[in-house]
Structure 1
């Protein structure tokens, strides 16, 4: 038996040695993933369209709360329009935004970077598959459309990176994975972003069969916005004027303002004539993944619609900004003074009597901010503290935009998950009022003050019409609504001041404010003023808050990404 054993052991040992020698080669690692499709299979029309839809699906930031296009935290909380809300111990990472205390290891910059690059990868995948496709499979028109949509989406994601981090490596589909890892981050990516939107503007059709896709005019609006950020006033004016004059929705309806301001945030009016480009959402489809997850935390706490979670409470500064005098906003920022600031129920118990402010206000206040005693989306008068989790921490207000109406619960809101706050309302990345105000800015910066004033007044006239939409049960106006047009501007400085304020009032809570303040060069002065005001009422929420330049103008590059790529490829932003 011993000899027999040795006979079998010797060949076995030889086989083991041979196996060890064979494993010294890494060829065995080159195995195609099981369950995956080859690029040549995916480069069919169906495969390319699937990849393109995947790029669209990342617009809402599926998977985390900080990479979605709404920018409710990145743009509105950072811009002083809203407090974190809820209480100090809930989702503490957002406290760093409120207090401007982000670090390179913070969650928010990391999640945002990863989520946005996920969108870029998906857009580039569609472009790569398109380059591999057979010309027989796609018409020339389809090829131009698909490339236009994919480049539009890549432009959107890079635009978000640029305004958030000021730098990024610009990746293209022809680069290998190894080559992409060596692309050095750069601040000079406006040209690439502009080129992507310009391609869409010049190649996308004006109308499309499906709502939610980017058409020529959506690309033109985003191109105009990109030019505006670069202070290319004349070019921006030309493109934006084309969009305003000739632009159409994907179904061919000419752009315009809805009669009622609040309808721009009402799911019943999704993809309306005011919607230039929007993140699509739906409720009760069998999965909340296609609802509006970006806003799911931002409903009144407990007793109100959504049953959760009390985040994103409008700031005192924002609410006070809607104070008017002779129908016009207080451009000198005196709205926060004791004489002018709104009367609120801050510190007033739910069972104590309270009379809402009776001073003159812009009607957009009560389409945008939930406040005690004012009708709240069909749920009755806003009850004040009963809708607020921790009033001394978050203040007296609750969000109103992107919250569903009482008669929409269960139909245009989805209650199949942990909260009823999964709404079906779209988020407009660009809506027509925004385009009008961007064009007004380009006109004013080009010294066409009257043209700029007319565009601002067009937005204000719609706001005036909307005052009749906020009524008490007895048919009386819910507040003292007073709004008027500008007759003239004394000079360019006054015109710009009016424009800056109009963007604040019209676009509040829509994620634009912080990025506007940065590009206008007034972030430091504005945010210092707002911090000082909020600290008087919310000392815990704003404890240690301080805005430092240039550090707080942009997010830090996530340290985890620098560790992977190296600081020579991803240099850190100043101050971190």
Structure 2
């Protein structure tokens, strides 16, 4: 089966698309030549425009404004560093505007925000270009059936880009194909949330997309359905989301036709095992394809240890709080929902790699060591993680390093290459899981808690935990520590244990705990358990900030107004009191309820639209 590479544009449309990409601002002016019907009014032209719209799914393109790590749809900075997953890391003065996002002191002139806004609206533009062009094709090369599918794909893509914008700014313009830039109506403003518009696009896409596709990177009916369910979750329409989620669980298949299922946890982060049955929608990445690394997962270019794999650049370091969250009760194997931060797991903060260190011996959720690189534990097949020598600067980053984006040493040659000639082995074929099946299960658990059955919600959480209990999917010790690519033993690398809520007939040996059932403990406990499970399952994947945001009562969530501020200020208070972690950045950080839940609208966009676009509350 041919791989669908969304970064490749067919030659017939290349010149026109290149002009479209270079527009100064999507909401300010017409890209010259973007509607050259003589060139594009045929199937080849439409296909080229569609591929161009797909190509921005990773949030990056050659010649874009800003740098790719500012705009990637993995949202490492906006979804994880701005939450409690990770620190920006590296040195304090490197990517200083990313540090301002971490400390909640970003302003409307922050140099990360305008490129993110512009690149996402460029994606909206490209989707709309397809929709505007289709009616102009009169040569019979596009059949009605094909046109229907292309429209559905384009509306999905438009919704995807608008969704990414809405997560960061909430109050963003919605631009459909009727909004052009030579008829005086480009200043459409941002009057409020656009969930209804996103939901309409996704509903239409879901209705007309096929169940399977010939290329694995193309969206199918079920992926659109999953995004629609996700939009309903953000819009707190649980009654609309739950039937979609139930259908996805019962009948959903990947674009290749494989029924959704959970796989070994680590297989979701390995370029060689991506696009598996858990991949509801995977944003594709490739290397060694003649693109000079541009088609790799370039949003995470900086996010490797500063030594070991790639040798650069020491950003995106997991937080102390995130690592602590994986502690479990020694008797039950369940998370310490309220007390996980009472003490820190043993770490090597301010302990040189040449000094003795003993890893934490307490009980842990096994997902920790697929989510956090920590000293004394095998780091994929790169060897025992040595600690401080792999951290560029522990002062603001701490002792931990990222791992989910990293390739295996044994596969380095085939899954990585230099990014644009300067970043060795920092372009990788490890595409981004925009939605995994675990997402679907945990959304279903949330919806059941709000409108349905606590027992069903518990079952979905335990389904996810049962995968974690599979010992064959744990991190194991090396057969020979001196030969890390020589294979692994069946001995767990740490003291792992997984328990279930209530009584659950899992297949992987987790511990049932009848007294800790959702029904016995009540709705508030069930909410806390599901939310904590999302943190464990999906940490370091760019979701956490937006989960906290949608749970906050300020936006209609179930946890009461100010919930997000309480969580993140509590997190900051913990981090600044970690011994030997003198982070000046975090000492100045404070999350302001009613402001910090959203990012400031770039001042350039307000100015370019003569004030039609308004600033978010609390920002100048």
With structure 2 as the length reference, what TM-score do the two structures score? 0.85
Matched, 1:551 2:595: yes
Distance in 1 (CA, whole Å) between partners of 2:476 and 2:178 is: 58
Distance in 1 (CA, whole Å) between partners of 2:145 and 2:345 is: 56
Correspondence list, 1:107-122, <5 A? 107-122=111-126
Partner of 2:278: 274
Please report how far the alpha carbon of residue 161 of structure 1 lies from its aligned counterpart in structure 2 after TM superposition.
Answer: 1.3
Correspondence list, 1:11-410, <5 A? 38-62=36-60, 63=64, 64-134=68-138, 136-177=140-181, 178-258=183-263, 260-287=264-291, 288-301=293-306, 303-325=307-329, 326-332=332-338, 334-338=339-343, 341-410=344-413
Distance in 1 (CA, whole Å) between partners of 2:126 and 2:280 is: 22
Q: 1:503 to 1:443 in 2, by over 3 A?
A: same
Please report how far the alpha carbon of residue 174 of structure 1 lies from its aligned counterpart in structure 2 after TM superposition.
Answer: 2.2
Matched, 1:528 2:534: no
Please report how far the alpha carbon of residue 367 of structure 1 lies from its aligned counterpart in structure 2 after TM superposition.
Answer: 0.6
- Paired residue for 1:540, among 574, 584, 596? 584
Corresponding residue SS for 1:238: helix
The root-mean-square deviation of aligned C-alpha atoms, in Å, is 1.5
Q: Is the 8 A contact 2:303 2:315 kept in 1?
A: yes
Distance in 1 (CA, whole Å) between partners of 2:44 and 2:185 is: 27
Distance in 1 (CA, whole Å) between partners of 2:106 and 2:472 is: 40
Matched, 1:454 2:459: yes
Q: Is the 8 A contact 1:197 1:223 kept in 2?
A: yes
Distance in 2 (CA, whole Å) between partners of 1:529 and 1:409 is: 39
Q: Is the 8 A contact 2:350 2:394 kept in 1?
A: yes
Partner of 1:494: 525
Corresponding residue SS for 1:169: coil
Distance in 1 (CA, whole Å) between partners of 2:261 and 2:472 is: 19
Partner of 1:14: none
Please report how far the alpha carbon of residue 176 of structure 1 lies from its aligned counterpart in structure 2 after TM superposition.
Answer: 2.7
Post-superposition Cα deviations, 1:222-272, rounded to whole Å, max 9, x if no partner, equal 0000011111111100111111111111111111111x1011010011211
Point out 4+ residue stretches in structure 1 off by more than 4 angstroms.
none
Please report how far the alpha carbon of residue 43 of structure 1 lies from its aligned counterpart in structure 2 after TM superposition.
Answer: 2.3
Q: 1:250 to 1:478 in 2, by over 3 A?
A: same
Distance in 1 (CA, whole Å) between partners of 2:205 and 2:35 is: 29
Distance in 2 (CA, whole Å) between partners of 1:166 and 1:414 is: 36
Partner of 1:24: none
Corresponding residue SS for 1:557: coil
Q: Structure 2: which 5+ residue stretches go unaligned?
A: 1-30, 480-488, 503-516, 553-562
Distance in 2 (CA, whole Å) between partners of 1:51 and 1:466 is: 46
Distance in 1 (CA, whole Å) between partners of 2:285 and 2:58 is: 9
Please report how far the alpha carbon of residue 180 of structure 1 lies from its aligned counterpart in structure 2 after TM superposition.
Answer: 4.0
Distance in 1 (CA, whole Å) between partners of 2:618 and 2:328 is: 39
Q: Structure 1: which 5+ residue stretches go unaligned?
A: 1-31
Q: Is the 8 A contact 1:300 1:387 kept in 2?
A: yes
Q: 1:275 to 1:135 in 2, by over 3 A?
A: farther
Corresponding residue SS for 2:460: helix
Please report how far the alpha carbon of residue 40 of structure 1 lies from its aligned counterpart in structure 2 after TM superposition.
Answer: 3.8
Q: Is the 8 A contact 2:171 2:194 kept in 1?
A: yes
Distance in 1 (CA, whole Å) between partners of 2:180 and 2:590 is: 43
Distance in 2 (CA, whole Å) between partners of 1:175 and 1:263 is: 42
Distance in 1 (CA, whole Å) between partners of 2:598 and 2:88 is: 19
Post-superposition Cα deviations, 1:424-477, rounded to whole Å, max 9, x if no partner, equal 011011111111111111111113101111011111111111565311125321
Please report how far the alpha carbon of residue 37 of structure 1 lies from its aligned counterpart in structure 2 after TM superposition.
Answer: 7.5
Please report how far the alpha carbon of residue 33 of structure 1 lies from its aligned counterpart in structure 2 after TM superposition.
Answer: 6.6
Bigger fraction of residues in helix: 1
Q: Is the 8 A contact 1:66 1:111 kept in 2?
A: yes
Distance in 1 (CA, whole Å) between partners of 2:588 and 2:180 is: 45
Distance in 1 (CA, whole Å) between partners of 2:401 and 2:374 is: 7
Distance in 1 (CA, whole Å) between partners of 2:202 and 2:105 is: 34
Please report how far the alpha carbon of residue 315 of structure 1 lies from its aligned counterpart in structure 2 after TM superposition.
Answer: 0.3
Post-superposition Cα deviations, 1:498-534, rounded to whole Å, max 9, x if no partner, equal 0000000000011110011011112101000111111
Distance in 1 (CA, whole Å) between partners of 2:605 and 2:473 is: 52
Please report how far the alpha carbon of residue 535 of structure 1 lies from its aligned counterpart in structure 2 after TM superposition.
Answer: 1.2
Distance in 1 (CA, whole Å) between partners of 2:354 and 2:571 is: 31
Q: Is the 8 A contact 2:72 2:298 kept in 1?
A: no
Partner of 1:424: 429
Q: Is the 8 A contact 1:75 1:514 kept in 2?
A: yes
Q: Is the 8 A contact 2:294 2:427 kept in 1?
A: no
Q: Is the 8 A contact 2:166 2:193 kept in 1?
A: no
Partner of 1:445: 450
